[in-house]
Amino acid sequence: AARVLGTAALLAGAYAGLQRSRTPSSAADGQKSLVLRRAAQPSNVNYFALLFKGDLPKRIATVLVLLALCRIGFYIPIYGFDADAVGEYFSRQATSGGMGFIDQLFGGGLGRVSLFSLGIGPYITASIIFQILTTVVPALKSLAQGEEGEAGRDRYKNYIKATSFGFALLQGFGQSTTLSPFVFDNGPLWAFEVTVQFAIGAMLTLLISEQITEQKLGNGASLLVFSSIVANLPRTVGATVAKAGENESGYLAAGIFGASLLVTILGLVYILAAERRIPVLFAKRLQEEASGQGGTDDAGQSYLPIKLNASGVLPLIFASSLLSLPALAANYTRLPWLSELAKTLLPGSSAYIPVSMVLIGVFSYVSTFQVLDPKDMATNLRKQAAAIPQVRPGKETEEYLRTVLERASVFGAVILAVLFVLPNLIELLTKLSTPNSFGGTSLLILVGVAADTWRQLQAELLMQQYATDVDQFYKGKKE
């Protein structure tokens, strides 16, 4: 069952990538999108053969090795703990305190007290805070949107890294405080040493994430969360099936739950592939057509693609991480009021679904304008001597694109929230609970990350094919 679900996620990702590969989602790559469309037109493209050309095999191998290194880091223990006692403690917390959901989301290392126990969690928390601050602090917004160039973007990233290290120290200290009863030799410097080890492990995880992202085959943080969910998938599915067999109607409930997962997968594939295509006219092409000098047959088919869900599954990861923070803080501080707050926000509570829907919508809307900036899009169109029909270049184009993005982001956020609700609602109605709260969030992350990774991989394959065609063209010219 685990293999079937994992295969379904990858196939769904492949289908979404095929639907979306004809154009990239950024206006800055407007001219590149035309190249990709022309390279994608031939039906005899051998994608399998392209996997072994250029530097693509090396980059794929690098990503796989980095993911493997990260998984190995979750099994490197920190010295001094009673492993059996810690495992039993986290096993209780996973069922009663919601730590299983947090552990799965952040990497799966909390219960092992390993070097990478904190996983990518501190970076995700810092990213959430900066995404919120970006909407209210103009200086940060200008840095994030690149108004000060690459130096500004780098400074913005460094701010997030520094904040991530601060959260890693804070979370590491909380982890050491929680686990102090299970330590053989709890000396005066022990808490400091363990806190630093946890923080170093978190920053190493962030470094691995950045190296994965640099390979241009997917977002590093998303792929690390994806690998964590996949690693726990066999155990989760096996436990769910075993629990379904305990009741007479358990298998029926499992079938209904499986059908809802399938509908969710298909819906997510659709929303990831859906786009609003804005027609674009290039002045040079119109002049060539008017004079009859080399006008292209696709001059009237150029368009600017606006994805309904430009931010992918990051809103899901951000929303889930934000809801898990009270439970994490309650586990460290043991404050009664914080424990009650955490219980109302974890999966299974009455407030979990509505609050998650609101957060998904907010993060999806905000993320869209961080991924796609109407001002940059309008500027890039003007630089390429391109214009939207019946819309003047410049400020009017910017306002038009902003309106389109607002409508698309709202519609995409609503659909994404509904897809999140469906499996969670079916789980509540059938009373079929899954270990580690595997539900809408985990499923959407699986499919979404698979789709995004396949899309980027196929884009690289198409560019490889285009480069091959150009090489063959010039080789034929020389002959």
Q: What are the pLDDT tens digits along the chain (479 aa)? A: 444 344 444 434 444 443 433 333 333 343 334 333 433 444 456 667 777 777 888 999 999 999 999 989 888 888 777 777 777 777 666 655 556 666 666 666 666 788 888 888 899 889 888 988 887 888 888 888 777 878 888 899 999 999 999 999 998 888 888 877 777 777 778 888 888 999 999 999 999 999 999 988 888 888 988 888 888 777 777 766 776 667 666 677 777 777 877 887 888 788 777 888 888 888 766 566 556 555 454 444 688 888 888 777 778 888 888 888 887 788 777 788 888 888 888 777 788 888 888 888 888 888 887 778 888 888 888 888 888 888 888 889 989 999 998 888 888 888 888 888 877 777 777 666 665 555 567 777 888 888 888 888 888 887 777 665 545 544 554 44
Residue 60 is assigned to a structural domain of this protein: yes
Q: For residue 50, which amino acid is it? A: L
Residue 34 is assigned to a structural domain of this protein: no
Residue 20 is assigned to a structural domain of this protein: no
Assess whether 194 and 272 both reside in one domain.
no
Assess whether 74 and 178 both reside in one domain.
yes
Rounded Cα gap, residues 25 and 371, in angstroms: 9
Rounded Cα gap, residues 256 and 251, in angstroms: 9
Assess whether 401 and 350 both reside in one domain.
yes
Assess whether 305 and 419 both reside in one domain.
yes
Assess whether 326 and 425 both reside in one domain.
yes
Phi, psi values for residue 114, rounded to 5°: -105, 175
Token pair for residue 231?
A: 């690693």
pTM of the model: 0.74
Assess whether 204 and 332 both reside in one domain.
no
Nearest Cα to Cα of residue 112 among 141, 84, 93, 131: 84
User: Which residues, 6+ apart, have CB-to-CB distance to 238 below 8 Å?
Assistant: 1, 2
- Which H or E run contains 279? strand 275-279
Residue 350 is assigned to a structural domain of this protein: yes
C-alpha 314 chain-centroid distance: 4
Q: Is 47 helix (H, G, I), strand (E, B) or coil?
A: helix
Burial class of 434 by CB neighbour count within 10 A (0 to 12, 13 to 18, 19+): middle
Assess whether 135 and 264 both reside in one domain.
no
Residue 459 is assigned to a structural domain of this protein: no
> Given this model, what pLDDT does residue 147 score?
76
Domain count, the chain: 2
CATH number at residue 191: 1.10.3370.10
Assess whether 181 and 314 both reside in one domain.
no
Residue 424 is assigned to a structural domain of this protein: yes
- Residue 297 contacts residue 353 (beta carbons within 8 Å): no
Q: Which of 162, 191, 215 is the last residue of a domain?
A: 215
The residue segments making up the domain with residue 186 are 47-215
Residue whose token pair is 């890039």: 380
Q: For residue 458, which amino acid is it? A: Q
Phi, psi values for residue 140, rounded to 5°: -70, -35
Assess whether 277 and 345 both reside in one domain.
yes
Residue 473 is assigned to a structural domain of this protein: no
Residue 237 is assigned to a structural domain of this protein: no
Rounded Cα gap, residues 156 and 247, in angstroms: 53
Assess whether 309 and 429 both reside in one domain.
yes
Q: For residue 168, which amino acid is it? A: A
Rounded Cα gap, residues 102 and 85, in angstroms: 20
- Residue 352 contacts residue 323 (beta carbons within 8 Å): yes
Assess whether 307 and 423 both reside in one domain.
yes
Interior/surface letters 247-275, b for 16+ CB within 10 angstroms, e for the rest = eeebeebbebbbebbeebbebbbebbbbb
> Given this model, what pLDDT does residue 242 score?
73
Assess whether 58 and 187 both reside in one domain.
yes
- Residue 99 contacts residue 327 (beta carbons within 8 Å): yes
